């Protein structure tokens, strides 16, 4: 069964606002109020037949008119032309609080229109809830799609990182092996160089060895040594 609607009225900024809603809480949410205007005396239930008729014709819709005016409410309203007078009237309305709402209506309120408005309000609320549910489902679907894309990219990155680590490890192992071979070759050559140098010194008694053999084998050095030896024989 549709909840009975009531007409609530307040003044915010340059406009008087009115709405047909099932509760004060629903009215505050529709107005976008961040405090309880009813407790502050800035909002009240309206029993003005004209205001009730206007809100019941469009239940759940915030209607407005220039602040302090006595014109009819509508979905759109012009700014007040006399802001000073409007502000004074709005202040007076807020100070009067709910007393104005207790005035007897000038004509009876259409109960059938109220019931119809309540049904329209419930249908509209149901439609909004379904629309909101669809929007939320679409949002979740899009979020899931994006998350899957992120997960896929993350997995690809981790695989590539692991592959890079493996290749880098292989390269490092090869570099370490080459370094060990190089060190072993340096040690071997040092030992052989000392041995050959000692043999060369023993084979040339009384002669000063000009220099030790180079640390690395060099064909050019050996050729120079041979040429030098031939020249010494000729001189002898």
Q: Domain for residue 25, yes or no?
A: yes
Residue 59 covered by a domain: yes
The per-residue pLDDT for 118 is: 78
pLDDT in tens, 68-96: 888 889 888 777 776 555 455 555 554 45
Quick check: is 31 in a domain? yes
Q: Give me the phi and psi of 47, to 5 degrees please.
A: -120, 15
With a CB cutoff of 8 Å and minimum separation 6, the contacts of 18 are 7, 8, 9, 46, 51, 54, 55, 62, 63, 64, 73
For residue 38, is it within any domain?
A: yes
* DSSP result, 115-136: HHHHHHHHHHHHHHHHHHHHHH
Total structural domains within the chain: 1
Q: Which carries the bigger pLDDT value, residue 10 or residue 113?
A: 10
Provide the b/e sequence for 126-160 (b: ≥16 CB within 10 Å).
Answer: eeeeeeeeeeeeeeeeeeeeeeeeeeeeeeeeeee
- Grouping H, G, I as helix, E, B as strand and the rest as coil, residue 140 is helix
Q: Is the pLDDT of residue 30 over 80?
A: yes
Residue 156: what pLDDT? 95
Evaluate if residue 148 carries a pLDDT over 90: yes
27 is in which domain, residue-wise? 6-109
Model confidence over 153-193: pLDDT tens digits? 999 999 999 999 999 999 999 999 999 999 999 999 999 99
The answer to whether 75 and 15 have CB atoms below 8 angstroms apart is no
Q: Is residue 128 in a domain?
A: no
- The residue that leads in pLDDT, 235 or 59, is 59
State the pTM of this model.
0.46
Angle at 35 between CA 29 and CA 37, to 5 degrees: 85
CA separation for the pair 218, 193 (Å, rounded): 13
- Model confidence pLDDT, tens digit, residues 213-232: 455 555 555 545 555 555 44
Does any domain span residue 90? yes
- CA distances, 103 to each of 46, 51, 187, 191, 215 (Å): 10, 14, 114, 120, 118
Burial (CB count within 10 angstroms: exposed 0-12, middle 13-18, buried 19+), residue 233: exposed
């Amino acid at each position: 069964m549709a909840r009975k609607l009531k007409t609530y009225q307040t003044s915010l900024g340059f406009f008087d606002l009115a709405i047909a809603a099932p509760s004060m809480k629903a009215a505050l949410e529709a107005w976008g109020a961040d405090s309880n205007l009813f407790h502050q005396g800035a909002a009240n239930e309206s029993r003005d037949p004209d205001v009730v008729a206007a809100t019941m014709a469009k239940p759940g819709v915030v209607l407005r008119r220039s602040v302090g005016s006595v014109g009819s409410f509508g979905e759109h309203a012009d700014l007040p032309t006399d802001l000073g007078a409007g502000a004074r009237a709005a202040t007076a309305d807020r100070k009067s609080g709910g007393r104005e709402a207790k005035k007897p209506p000038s004509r009876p309120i259409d109960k059938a229109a109220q019931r119809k408005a309540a049904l329209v309000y419930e249908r509209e609320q149901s439609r909004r809830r379904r629309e909101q549910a669809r929007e939320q489902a679409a949002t979740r679907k899009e979020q899931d799609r994006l998350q899957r894309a992120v997960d896929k990219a993350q997995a690809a990155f981790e695989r590539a990182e692991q592959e890079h680590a493996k290749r880098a490890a292989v390269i490092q192992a090869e570099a370490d092996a080459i370094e060990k071979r190089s060190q072993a070759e340096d040690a071997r050559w040092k030992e052989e160089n000392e041995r050959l140098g000692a043999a060369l010194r023993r084979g040339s008694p009384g002669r000063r060895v000009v220099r030790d053999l180079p640390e690395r084998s060099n064909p050019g050095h050996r050729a120079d040594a041979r040429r030098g030896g031939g020249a010494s024989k000729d001189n002898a």
